[in-house]
Copies of this chain bind each other. A is one copy, B any other.
Amino acid sequence: MTAEERLLAIEEIKKLKARYFRYLDTKNWVALESVFAPDAAFDMRSGRGDMLDPDALLAGAVAIVSFIRASVEDVVTVHHGHMPEVDIRSDTMAEGIWAMEDVLRWPTTSTRPIQTLHGYGHYHETYELIGGGWRIKTLKLTRLRVLTE
């Protein structure tokens, strides 16, 4: 790639990740699936931070969105990404790291032991160019801190 093509790809990947967050928080599940490669993998086993959830190692865009939807469909969620470090590795592959913060509030009718989660961490990701558009290929969430109440 030329330098200009790399800059364009980096900007596209930043917008891709922005759509991931926006579709997630506005509960647009159909659109959310479109940001992932069909064979994407999401390791959010440390998502809640307090223990490793073995069920949260997900394979495929359909499974990822199904898991997210089941987890937060009735939850008011805010997810923000910060400080991207995107590197283009080839014409069709890229890597990225993002700082993140998430704030979740379960409905007051929930019988879950926790009602709110406020977390901080990083996404470690790869991206693939598929059919002219960048998609999220792999994601792994690591945590700096998680507060639950």
Contacts and interface: CB of A to CB of B under 8 A. Distances in A.
A22 B83 contact: yes
Contact of A83 (B4, B8, B80): B80
Given A7-B7, A10-B11, A97-B22, A81 B78 contact: no
A144 B101 contact: no
A105 interface: yes
Interface residues on A, range: 20 to 34
Given A4-B7, A22-B83, A26-B144, 16 more contacts: A7-B11, A15-B84, A18-B84, A18-B85, A19-B85, A21-B83, A22-B85, A22-B97, A22-B122, A25-B99, A76-B144, A77-B144, A78-B120, A78-B145, A80-B82, A81-B83
